[in-house]
Structure 1
Amino acid sequence: MLVKSEGIVLREVKFEETNKILTIFSRKYGKITAMVRGALRPRSPLIASSQVFSYSDYNFYKGKSFYHVNQGDIIDSFYPIREDMNRLLYGAYLLELVDSSTVEGVPSEKLFELLKKGLKVLSSLNKDFLKFIIGFEIKYISFLGYRPYLNKCVLCGEDINDTLKFSISHGGVICERCFKLDPGSKKMDKNMLNYLKQLLYTSLDELDNIKIPKDVMIKIQDIMIKYILTNIEKNKFNSLDFMESIKKNGGL
């Protein structure tokens, strides 16, 4: 059966001498595994559309085990991501986020559009990478169905004053009276909460309007990463570990 869909390449693996097996997040069919025969040949018409990050219009033939790519018309290669180390590392993290939380054959229009927009914005980004990533993270986890409850105490429903924490296990902020109900909750203040709300509701291409101190962003992202890992049942992100190892060795 021949099918057609836009898609973004999340992963690529060499198979035999000239072929690739791709993990593609497609708009219509969700995450799929696809064979691209001859993708590594110098004159292959599928070279561009079989690269990681590539956003293309694909024609697939659905086989017994996986799809086969018959045609791939590139829409955007997001090539500038490959030209800068920060963009490349954070781009790899975006792909890992989506790959880690999606299952084969389950489409998500919202998540597809978020990834597409994220890669587009990242392609021209030269600063404020951490702010961009947190903005992506909170939208991403919300689209998965785990939007954090930020308006009132997630446990008792009371208004939040200046003393609050974030409960990873319950998915939202908690008031001082409920601290004892979740000893593992994370420290947070009203400023962090307000910044997190702004990042949730502001489009990725409008984040320049939000000014957040770097030390505050580091604290917020620490909470977001723990929250995401808990909800997608994952222990770590390899791309973030690699990023940290580069920082420790004087990079970035």
Structure 2
Amino acid sequence: MGDLLTDTEGIVLRQVKTSYGRRMILLFSKKYGKISAGTGLNERGKGKSSLALRPFTYGRYELFKNRDSYNINGAEVLKSYYGIGEDVDKYMNGAYVLEFTERVLAEEVPSPGIFSLLIDFFDLLENRDKGIGTLVLAYQTKVFRYTGVMPQLERCAICGEEKPAFKFSVEEGGVICRDCFQAMENLGPHALIYDIKFGILDILKYFTVNPLKKLENIALKEDAGKLLQEIIREYAAYYLDVSDLKSEKLI
């Protein structure tokens, strides 16, 4: 492809200062997916373009694309979620979701489902006063579906039969029945197997079939939230190679 002047909606994931006053913006663009784009626009200015370079911003970006790089020539804010930064809990969870999303996305592969999901997440996060961790877990569960690694929740992930779920196995990719679990135990110990308690199976199913906006007033109890967080993080590490996020220690 030759030189191209185009525009796209996008969400700023991260920015890095480079030399001579330039910045490198990691942008989740609707049209091109995750891209790195240089820009000479000054973030400290008061114009529309400068405001659109900040994380937690949904904007429209004018891009110049040549064979191997992008440059942001202009930008405007469509919606700023900068107010998230005024609440420590919201900011930490929002930063975690941005980092998680950055790690999940492949370079230059459009992901319109995750793009819309991320906007829905920030719409809800901005106005939410409690249960922020619940919202994060629901977002991550939905990302599994969009990336094609959704855990099997309806039938045993080993034998495929619709028997009562007995355990959740990360390595097997979902719930397993008692018979299959006992057969596994006979072969020796297995890691990443969790008890199905605190209603976590029903919670995961609810996350899967309902839009984020329907979770607006739902907050998990602490024991269920902690167990689900551990399962989801291990699952993301196993299937998406997403682990050791810098921001996860803060939430």
Find the counterpart in structure 2 of residue 250 from structure 1.
none
Equivalent position SS for 2:49: coil
Find the counterpart in structure 1 of residue 200 from structure 2.
192
Structure 1 counterpart of 2:236, which letter? I
| Percentage of matched positions with identical amino acids | 30
For normalisation by structure 1, the TM-score amounts to: 0.90
In structure 1, runs of 5+ residues without a counterpart are 244-252
Looking at structure 2, the residues matched to 108 and 33 of structure 1 have their Cα atoms a distance apart, in angstroms, of 16
1:227 maps to 2:235? yes
In structure 2, runs of 5+ residues without a counterpart are none
1:99: how far off? 0.6
Query: Aligned residues, how many?
Result: 242
Looking at structure 2, the residues matched to 208 and 103 of structure 1 have their Cα atoms a distance apart, in angstroms, of 29
Find the counterpart in structure 2 of residue 56 from structure 1.
59
State which drifts further: 186-195 or 120-129. 186-195
CA contact (8 A) 1:62 1:68 kept: yes
**Cα deviation digits, residues 169-221 of structure 1 (max 9, x gap):** 12110011111437222222382211111122222122145463221121111
Looking at structure 2, the residues matched to 181 and 234 of structure 1 have their Cα atoms a distance apart, in angstroms, of 27
Looking at structure 2, the residues matched to 211 and 241 of structure 1 have their Cα atoms a distance apart, in angstroms, of 21
Structure 2 counterpart of 1:51, which letter? R
CA contact (8 A) 2:43 2:51 kept: no
CA contact (8 A) 1:154 1:172 kept: yes
Structure 2 counterpart of 1:229, which letter? A
CA contact (8 A) 1:168 1:230 kept: yes
Equivalent position SS for 1:146: coil
**Cα deviation digits, residues 36-67 of structure 1 (max 9, x gap):** 10324535542111101111011100134421
1:17: how far off? 4.5
Equivalent position SS for 1:181: helix
**Cα deviation digits, residues 144-171 of structure 1 (max 9, x gap):** 101111011111122342x611111121
Note the 1:235-246 alignment, pairs <5 A: 235-243=243-251
CA contact (8 A) 1:18 1:41 kept: no
How much is the aligned-residue C-alpha RMSD, in angstroms?
A: 1.8
Aligned counterpart for 1:171 among listed residues 170, 173, 181: 173
CA contact (8 A) 1:80 1:124 kept: no
